[in-house]
């Protein structure tokens, strides 16, 4: 089976509507430029749409394949599928990667999703609205190299929806904020700047804020239903959804349980980006190790005194930074332990090649 993938390279005319299966899957120039055309024909690109303990499901232009379990892969990854040896399919470089710290005594990083373009951080214009949580999500997105957009749902039920938009807009000038009724007709139009064919989006937010309603609105009646299947392996009858939905003329929509409970891990870069105003101020403190508390010559406290910095924002920055440091240290300890163990294993399995 040889296919011509040349039309998938950037700079060529886009395929006629409806979008090709690969475009629906979120195939982009970023990935195409990583591979020679003949390699694409030999080992066609497939995208991981589901991860199970028993293996991965991946879809391509006209193939659906299963790949043995690999802990270096996650939903959204692009692979060059090797039909002769599926486990050796090569992963293409990621455009973005969302991770979390798994809960439990031993914290470890868990890959949540790869190659998401836009995360719609979703909250409602009601008691769910919480600036600190929004900041946490924004930092997480920036760190993952994902573009964050804040959506404020249920404006139709709020007395003064504009105040929520104003408050969310203060988080960062580079994060767009939109109020939208998730149950209204114009959802696709309002999200059209980000939710287009060839792109991958996800919704992040608390239960009940409208994530499913928005997902359905984007998918419309064109929701890819072949992904829904029955699983009665445990004698129970539950409907499970594919974790990556394809839409005929819209984006790929990622909907995984893992997206729901995200904590901070290794997001130092995202935090610096989000709180760059405070970091800028801190460079002007008299002492390099200033804790911005009662030190003389503290530029951060001076800004608070002048009313230029909200003390609550400094507090939130401290809390997020402390959480990030704690998570990073716990992971570093665990890695050090694992490394010791890995060395030990390597010594006894010396002749076996190590895939990672």
Residue ranges at the known binding site: 153-156, 205-213, 285, 290, 292, 298
Cβ-based nearer residue to ligand GTP, 54 or 207: 207
- Min dist CB 293 to ligand GTP, Å, is 39
- Do 55 and 79 contact (CB within 8 A), yes or no? no
Helices (H), 25-71: 29-32, 37-42
Residue 7: other Cβ atoms inside 10 A: 11
Residue 160: other Cβ atoms inside 10 A: 10
Distance from first CA to last CA of the chain, Å, rounded?
30
- Do 199 and 117 contact (CB within 8 A), yes or no? yes
Cβ-based nearer residue to ligand GTP, 187 or 309: 187
Cβ-based nearer residue to ligand GTP, 14 or 208: 208
Cβ-based nearer residue to ligand GTP, 20 or 153: 153
**In angstroms, rounded to a whole number, what is the distance separating the alpha carbons of residues 89 and 169?**
43
Name the token pair of 12. Answer: 């060529």
- The dihedrals phi and psi of 350, each to the nearest 5 degrees, come to -45, -40
Q: What's the count of helices (H) and strands (E) in the chain, helices before strands? A: 11, 15
Q: Does the footprint of Zn ion cover residue 309 (CB under 5 A)?
A: no
How many residues are given for the chain? 356
- Min dist CB 44 to ligand GTP, Å, is 34
Distances (CA, A) of 158 to 187, 205, 207, 306: 18, 18, 18, 33
153 binds, among Zn ion, ligand GTP, none (CB under 5 to 8 A by kind): ligand GTP
- Do 120 and 212 contact (CB within 8 A), yes or no? no
Cβ-based nearer residue to ligand GTP, 56 or 121: 121
- Min dist CB 212 to ligand GTP, Å, is 3
Please, which residues bridge with residue 149 across strands?
120
Smallest Cα–Cα separation from 243: which of 341, 88, 71, 112?
112
Cβ-based nearer residue to ligand GTP, 172 or 243: 243
Token pair 């139709």 is found at 156
207 binds, among ligand GTP, Zn ion, none (CB under 5 to 8 A by kind): ligand GTP
Size of the site for Zn ion (CB under 5 A): 5
**In angstroms, rounded to a whole number, what is the distance separating the alpha carbons of residues 306 and 321?**
24
300 binds, among Zn ion, ligand GTP, none (CB under 5 to 8 A by kind): Zn ion
Binding segment toward Zn ion, per CB under 5 A, in 17-25, 86-94, 165-173, 300-308? 300-308
Query: 7-11 contacts: CB < 8 A, separation 24 or more?
Result: 8/32, 8/40, 9/33, 9/37
Applying CB under 5 A, among 154, 199, 292, 328 the residue interacting with Zn ion is: 292
212 binds, among ligand GTP, Zn ion, none (CB under 5 to 8 A by kind): ligand GTP
Applying CB under 5 A, among 134, 151, 246, 300 the residue interacting with Zn ion is: 300
Binding segment toward Zn ion, per CB under 5 A, in 58-66, 200-208, 227-235, 292-300? 292-300
- Min dist CB 287 to Zn ion, Å, is 7
Applying CB under 5 A, among 264, 271, 298, 320 the residue interacting with Zn ion is: 298
Instruction: Please tell me whether residue 102 adopts helix, strand or coil conformation.
Output: strand
Cβ-based nearer residue to ligand GTP, 28 or 153: 153
Cβ-based nearer residue to ligand GTP, 40 or 262: 262
- Min dist CB 219 to ligand GTP, Å, is 13
Instruction: Please tell me whether residue 23 adopts helix, strand or coil conformation.
Output: helix
292 binds, among Zn ion, ligand GTP, none (CB under 5 to 8 A by kind): Zn ion
- Min dist CB 206 to ligand GTP, Å, is 7
Q: Binding residues for ligand GTP, per CB under 6 A?
A: 153-154, 156-157, 181-183, 207-213
Residue ranges that bind Zn ion, judged by CB under 5 A: 285, 290, 292, 298, 300
């Amino acid at each position: 089976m040889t296919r011509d993938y040349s039309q998938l390279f950037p700079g060529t005319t886009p395929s006629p509507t409806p979008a090709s299966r690969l475009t629906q899957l979120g195939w982009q120039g970023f990935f195409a430029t990583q591979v020679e055309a003949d390699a694409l024909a030999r080992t066609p690109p497939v995208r991981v749409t589901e991860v199970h303990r028993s293996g991965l499901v991946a879809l391509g232009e006209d193939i659906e394949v299963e790949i043995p379990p690999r802990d270096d892969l996650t939903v959204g990854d692009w692979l060059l599928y090797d039909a002769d040896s599926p486990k050796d399919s090569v992963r293409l470089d990621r455009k973005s990667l969302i991770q979390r710290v798994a809960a439990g005594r031993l914290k470890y990083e868990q890959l949540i999703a790869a190659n998401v373009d836009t995360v719609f951080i979703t909250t409602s214009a009601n008691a769910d609205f919480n600036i600190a949580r929004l900041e946490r999500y924004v930092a997480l997105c920036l760190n993952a190299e994902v573009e964050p957009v804040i959506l404020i749902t249920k404006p139709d039920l709020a007395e003064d929806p504009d105040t929520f938009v104003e408050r969310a807009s203060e988080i960062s000038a580079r994060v767009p904020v939109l109020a939208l009724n998730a149950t209204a007709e114009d959802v696709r139009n309002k999200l059209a700047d980000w939710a287009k064919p060839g792109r991958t989006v996800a919704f992040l937010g608390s239960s009940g804020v409208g994530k499913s309603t928005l997902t359905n609105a984007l998918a419309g009646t064109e929701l890819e239903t072949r992904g829904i299947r029955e699983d009665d392996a445990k004698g129970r009858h539950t409907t499970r959804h594919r974790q990556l939905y394809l839409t005929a003329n819209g984006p790929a929509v990622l909907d995984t349980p893992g997206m729901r409970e995200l904590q901070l891990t290794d997001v130092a870069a995202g935090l610096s980006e989000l709180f760059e105003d405070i970091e800028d101020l801190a460079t002007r403190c008299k002492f390099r190790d200033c804790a911005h508390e009662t030190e003389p010559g503290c530029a951060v406290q001076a800004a608070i005194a002048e009313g230029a910095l909200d003390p609550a924002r400094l507090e939130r920055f401290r809390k997020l930074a402390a959480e990030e440091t704690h998570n990073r240290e716990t992971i570093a300890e665990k890695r050090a332990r694992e490394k010791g163990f890995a060395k030990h294993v390597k010594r006894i399995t010396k002749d076996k090649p190590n895939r990672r």
